[in-house]
């Protein structure tokens, strides 16, 4: 574990510059492929088009509301839940974004197209940036919650606006949005491995990250999963597994305590 604050910041800056700069220089602008909107499961149910892809967003809404209830409850102010008040802000943003993601994704899947996809992706970036800031505040320095939360959320929302604007003028460019979505997936494992935790139950966060990786894999295998049995599609399962990923974040907050020096990582469902 890297204990020096200076080394933490320098390493994070170098990795960020290398990853983002390398991606931007090696990938030309590319628009949203229209075939992305052609999901395998097109079934109608109770008048709802693409019903399972719409209804499978309910876990996002449920976990978002439960998370907001917890953040508003005195239990989230118990001693040790957050060592500094500013560390609460990223998780407020995370759960608001999660709730809005469920609403926006439902809206998109009822009528999949570029115009509705904007309202799916925008709250998703808010969710990503809220959680990413929370992890930075714990692993790098608590001041990250005060100084980085608003800029990162603006950056995330701006990436969607940029993509939507470029699509409308016939020069679609997804690079900015992809950088916002996938850059945390590169940095967060590094933070978990090399940067010391301030709280217990980091295993819940690891489980959340693994669930998200599985969700992205199911998204890629949408048609393969659906053709295997015709019961459920990979994209529907993606929503459910991503909802489980959010549940692990809430579980972590419910159980975490200040980390004792030398205390081992506690894994999901551990005492």
DSSP assignment letter at 92: H
- Which residue, chain included where needed, has tokens 């709280």? 199
**Residues in the chain, overall count:** 271
Range 41-255 has CATH code 1.20.1070: yes
CA distance 188 to 209: 9
- pLDDT category of residue 185 using cuts at 50, 70 and 90: confident
Domain map (residue ranges) of the chain: 41-255
The reported pLDDT for the residue numbered 25 is 81
- pLDDT category of residue 2 using cuts at 50, 70 and 90: low
Instruction: For residue 48, list its beta bridge partners.
Output: 45
Q: What is the pTM of this model?
A: 0.92
Give yes or no for a contact between 64 and 99, defined as CB atoms under 8 angstroms apart: yes
**Could you tell me which of 206, 160, 158, 157 has the C-alpha nearest to residue 185?**
206
pLDDT over 60 at 269, yes or no? no
Give yes or no for a contact between 150 and 126, defined as CB atoms under 8 angstroms apart: no
Per DSSP, the residues of 100-113 read: HHHHHHHHHHHS-S
pLDDT in tens, 94-108: 999 999 999 999 999
pLDDT over 90 at 19, yes or no? no
Q: How many CB atoms sit inside 10 A of residue 84's CB?
A: 12
The alpha-carbon radius of gyration of the chain (Å, integer) is 19
- Which residue, chain included where needed, has tokens 């460019």? 173
Instruction: For residue 258, list its beta bridge partners.
Output: 199
């Amino acid at each position: 574990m890297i204990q020096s604050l200076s080394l933490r910041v320098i390493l994070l800056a170098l990795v960020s510059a290398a990853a983002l700069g390398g991606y931007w220089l090696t990938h030309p602008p590319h628009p949203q492929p229209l075939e992305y909107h052609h999901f395998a499961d097109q079934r109608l149910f109770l008048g709802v088009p693409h019903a399972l892809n719409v209804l499978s967003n309910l876990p996002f809404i449920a976990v978002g509301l439960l998370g907001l209830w917890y953040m508003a409850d005195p239990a989230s102010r118990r001693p040790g839940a957050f060592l500094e008040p500013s560390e609460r802000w990223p998780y407020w943003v995370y759960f608001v974004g999660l709730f809005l993601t469920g609403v926006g994704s439902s809206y998109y899947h009822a009528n999949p197209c570029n115009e509705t996809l904007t309202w799916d992706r925008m709250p998703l970036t808010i969710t990503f940036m809220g959680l990413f800031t929370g992890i930075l505040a714990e692993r790098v320095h608590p001041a990250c919650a005060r100084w980085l939360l608003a800029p990162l959320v603006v950056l995330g929302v701006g990436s969607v606006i940029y993509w939507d604007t470029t699509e409308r003028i016939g020069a679609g460019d997804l690079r900015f949005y992809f950088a916002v979505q996938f850059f945390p997936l590169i940095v967060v494992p590094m933070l978990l491995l090399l940067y010391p935790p301030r709280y217990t139950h980091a295993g819940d966060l690891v489980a959340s990250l693994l669930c998200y990786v599985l969700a992205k894999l199911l998204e890629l295998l949408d048609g393969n999963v659906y053709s295997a049995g015709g019961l459920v599609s990979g994209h529907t399962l993606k929503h459910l597994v991503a909802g489980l990923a959010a549940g692990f974040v809430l579980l972590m907050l419910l159980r975490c305590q200040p980390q004792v020096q030398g205390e081992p990582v506690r894994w999901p469902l551990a005492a």
